[in-house]
A and B are shown apart, each in its own frame.
Chain A
Amino acid sequence: MRYFTHLSMKNKILHYCVVPILIVILWQIVSYCKLVSPLFLASPYEVVKHLFQNGLMIIDLSYTLYRVLVGFTLAVAIGVPVGLLMGYSNKVYNSMEFVIEFFRGIPTTALFPLFLLIFGIGDGAKFAVTAWGAGLVILVNSMYGVHLGKELRIRVAKTMKISGFTLCRKVIFPEALPQIFNGLRVAISISLIIVIVTEMFIGTEIGLGKRIIDAQLVYQTADMYAAILMTGILGFMLNKIMMIFEKKVVHWKGK
């Protein structure tokens, strides 16, 4: 409890801020003294100005977020049930294991050209490739969730004559949830990576990835940094929201 007293709370916030502030100060010094050409490094002030002045950034941000969320949702919708099934049934596991392991070995971005061929250059290919990359992570974690579940709880359920779908829904699924959430947290970050990369590629005029690559091509360094910073904030927020959600849902984890 001592960590939550007023003084320590203040201390904690101080510890939290000190390194970021130092980095910004260092950045300001370097750019002010022109130690690095302004062509490559804009000043923090310039970057922040671009972040707020340019009204279009919020549109890029919302498009990127929209793509992440659609891809991620598809990944959950497919990854969780298939993963649970693979964890539960040895037959399904044996027949799928090799395929899954093989596809996991291919970097998702290597498949993007293929997805472009199949789904066209619009958002469809982006959703699909994001769902693919994030879905595999979720699938594997859901599967392990079942495997790592406590044998004894299944036996408890059996003494109560529970089986089949009820067993899955009432015991195996909640038992796998902590591990599923490990997968979800990794998957949301992967979704953002894939969306940013695919936006740089082809087929869109809007999105943070597109903005970063465009700004870089014409040496609008401040705008590029601003878009990168925005992406960082987005990634940080997505991860934080996921963690809060996880704490709420799998409150028993680690207890």
Chain B
Amino acid sequence: MISLQSITKEFKKGHDMVKVIDGIDLEIKKGEFVTVFGPNGSGKTTLLNIVAGIDKPTAGDVSIDNKKAADINVGYVFQNYNESLFPWKTVFENVIFPLEIAKIGKKECVKIGEHLLIKVGLLHLKDKYVYELSGGQRQLVSICRAMAQKPDLLIMDEPFSSLDYSTTRKMELNLLDVWEEQKITTLFVSHDIDEAIFLADRVVVLSPLPSKIKKIFEVKLPRPRTLDMLASSEFTQLRNEILHTFEYEK
């Protein structure tokens, strides 16, 4: 279980301290898929960086099964796949990079890497360079890379927001497919309400700055999720509730 205990973050801006995150408490169960939905500039990326141990909170604590944040093994998928993948490496080399760093044997690397690439349907491109792939395919490569080391936590920061509608939906199905097999605890930030509901077990709605949790919604749609659920009455009702909270509730 991953727990965030009253995370607060302040930045210095000129002479003033600006509070970006104001006491966030959240517990994520093992194998759970949690999405964070909030307005732009609400400190979502800062929150993710704190959870990933890249950034330190001003106050509060992150822990996973009593391990400290710095020791948590995270897989991080960034929005900007072009600048997060390694263009000098092939698709396959990118995927197994974290394994290589962890000094895992070649045979095991090949097994894990090829399995993930089969799962997302990119095995035939394994020896291509990433700049030879389409945007969606590139992001799938970075998802595979983040999952290769079986992280304690998979963090995704608006990974599909630069893709078009149909590619995004396809990618979500792809993602869920791998996720259901690997059962990796996932924290996913989105500003697309449909995406936030479709993927999640729970949706966390954030307030504008300084970020606080407004409300947490449980998504009771069965898994595996299918695209027709996007039009179901359950989905629409939840969507309305979330939007109402987002717009009107203080």
Contact = CB atoms under 8 A, between A and B. Distances in A.
Interface of A: 150, 152-153, 155-156, 158-162, 166, 170-171, 174, 177, 250-252, 255
Given A156-B76, A159-B74, A171-B86, 9 more contacts: A152-B78, A153-B86, A155-B54, A155-B76, A159-B54, A160-B98, A250-B88, A251-B129, A252-B129
B77 to A, nearest CB: 10
Contacts of A155: 54, 76, 78
B88 A252 contact: yes
Contact of B84 (A153, A166, A174, A251): A153
B3 interface: no
27 contacts: A150-B83, A152-B78, A152-B80, A153-B83, A153-B84, A155-B54, A155-B76, A155-B78, A156-B78, A156-B84, A158-B54, A159-B53, A159-B54, A159-B75, A159-B155, A160-B97, A160-B149, A161-B73, A162-B101, A170-B101, A171-B86, A174-B86, A251-B129, A252-B87, A252-B88, A252-B131, A255-B87
Contacts of A174: 86, 88
What is the predominant secondary structure among interface residues of chain A facing chain B? Answer: helix
Given A159-B74, A170-B101, A152 B84 contact: yes
A146 B143 CA distance: 26
Given A156-B76, A159-B52, A160-B98, A255 B131 contact: yes
Closest 6 CB pairs of A and B: A252-B87, A255-B131, A159-B76, A152-B83, A150-B83, A174-B88
B172 to A, nearest CB: 22
A255 B85 CA distance: 13
Contacts of B155: 159
Contacts of A159: 52-54, 74-76, 155
Contacts of A150: 83
What is the predominant secondary structure among interface residues of chain B facing chain A? Answer: mixed
Contacts of A161: 73, 101
A171 to B, nearest CB: 7
Contacts of B75: 159
Contacts of A251: 88, 129
A250 B131 CA distance: 13
A195 B89 CA distance: 38
Given A150-B83, A152-B78, A159-B76, A177 B54 contact: no
Interface in B49-82: 52-54, 73-76, 78, 80
Contacts of A156: 76, 78, 84
Interface in B89-137: 97-98, 101, 129, 131
Nearest to A251: B129
Contacts of B97: 160, 170
B45 to A, nearest CB: 11
Contacts of A177: 88
A235 B4 CA distance: 63
Nearest to A177: B88
A162 B76 CA distance: 14
Contacts of A153: 83-84, 86
Interface in B22-47: none
B202 to A, nearest CB: 23
A112 to B, nearest CB: 39
A19 to B, nearest CB: 35
Nearest to A167: B101
A156 B76 CA distance: 7
B150 to A, nearest CB: 13
A162 B83 CA distance: 17
A245 to B, nearest CB: 15
A255 B52 CA distance: 30
A174 B86 CA distance: 9
A177 to B, nearest CB: 7
A166 B101 contact: yes
Nearest to A156: B84
A53 to B, nearest CB: 48
A62 B76 CA distance: 54
Nearest to B100: A170
A67 to B, nearest CB: 33
Contacts of B74: 159
Q: Which of B53, B75, B98, B155 has the most CB of A within 10 A?
A: B98
A252 B128 CA distance: 12
Contacts of B84: 152-153, 156
B187 to A, nearest CB: 13
Nearest to B48: A159
